[in-house]
Structure 1
Amino acid sequence: MGDFIDTALGFPAVVFTVLLAVVVCYWILVLAGGLDPDGDGWLDGALDRIGLGGTPATVVLSIVVAVAWFASLVGSVLLGDHALLETLVLIVSIALGALVANQLRRPLRRFFPTAPEASRHDFVGRECVIRTGRVAIDFGQAEVHAADGSSAIVQVRQTGADTFAAGTRAVIYDYDSAGEFFWVVPADLSDRTKDR
């Protein structure tokens, strides 16, 4: 146990031992509800510039520190006490930590969505398929696909006398937030308007 402590508190591992203590304290505060784990804007921007973005900076840096700490311990034990080799272990440990963090951030990215929350207004301008036998000023439903490929059945209405049957293509041109429905026109009418 004494050899482990000596190695952890010796150069270069001591650099990462201190940083690892900071990381552990940070995550304890996050778990206790005292800090926000989403990271800081400038730190996320800095990691984006070096190719480690897409996941909160705090997660990426925690991975870098943990891997670098372990690599520096192993390197110190294997290569011994020589100033040049210790400096090499320090550099390789940081590089290895960044490499592992880069590989892990990709699968972790799905747990930290960065896209803005979807809105019903995102459907405006999209084509839909009528799913009811008719669409009137007070009745109708259609299926519309979102940008991510998911589909939704939405309430639709029309102001004209256009004929809509099940399976008819239409274009959503507005959203009525009070009534929570979409205004539609026939897709071929929208195509004719574009051709003018």
Structure 2
Amino acid sequence: MRTFLAIATGLPTILLTAALVVVLCFWGLVAARLTSTYSFDADLDLRAWGMGGVPVTIALSLLTALAWSLSVGGTLVLVAFTSPGLATGLLRMFVPVLALLAAWRMSRLFVRPLHRLFPDEPELSGLGRTEGRDRVHMDHAA
């Protein structure tokens, strides 16, 4: 357990740990109904990254959780099967980068079946991207 905590809170994995904490706090706000799943859809389009079709919050949450899990798991394997040294230290710096790339590829695969669960446009009754988009168009017209 001590090794796990040291890896999760050590450099460079701490960056992904901080991102995971932000994601968990966001979903806590969604659970408390203080924000919406579609909160950032007007701000960011993930189709160019191959993760379109679901709310941005879901795609990036999935990416973050997978990247953190792969980074911690990869570093644990590295620590368990290699001896401490300069080469191991350098490899530990690349594990989160490789984990992020692998998580992106995996997220693209997981998002495809999730697309059917989400309509192209959210309902107008909640905080949705259509409201934000209309507001932006009104601001530019004024």
Deviation at 1:70, TM superposition (A): 0.7
Kindly state the Cα deviation for residue 11 of structure 1 after the two structures are TM-superposed.
2.0
The equivalent of 1:59 in structure 2 is: 58
1:24 aligns with 2:30: no
Structure of higher RCO (CA pairs closer than 8 Å, 6+ residues apart): 2
Matching of residues 81-120 of structure 1 within 5 Å: 82-114=88-120
Q: TM-score, normalised by structure 1?
A: 0.54
Q: Residue 60 of structure 1 contacts residue 105 of structure 1 at CA under 8 Å; is this kept in 2?
A: yes
Q: For residue 85 of structure 1, report the CA deviation from its aligned partner.
A: 0.8
Q: Give the superposition deviation at 1:115.
A: 5.3
Q: 2:52 is matched by which residue type in structure 1?
A: G
Deviation at 1:13, TM superposition (A): 1.9
Q: Which one has a larger percent strand, Structure 1 or Structure 2?
A: 1
Identity %: 35
Question: When the two structures are aligned, how many residues end up with a matched partner?
Answer: 115
Asked whether the equivalents of residues 12 and 76 of structure 1 are also in contact (C-alpha less than 8 Å), the reply is no
What do residues 68-107 of structure 1 show as CA deviations (whole Å, max 9, x unaligned)? Answer: 1111111111223634212321211101111121111111
Q: How many angstroms does 1:35 deviate by?
A: 0.6
Q: How does the TM-score come out when normalised to structure 2? A: 0.73
Gaps of 5+ in 2: 124-142
After TM superposition, the structure 1 = structure 2 runs for residues 144-183 of structure 1, keeping only pairs within 5 Å, are: none
Choose between structure 1 and 2: higher helix proportion: 2
CA RMSD of aligned residues (A): 1.8
Q: Unaligned 5+ residue runs, structure 1?
A: 118-196
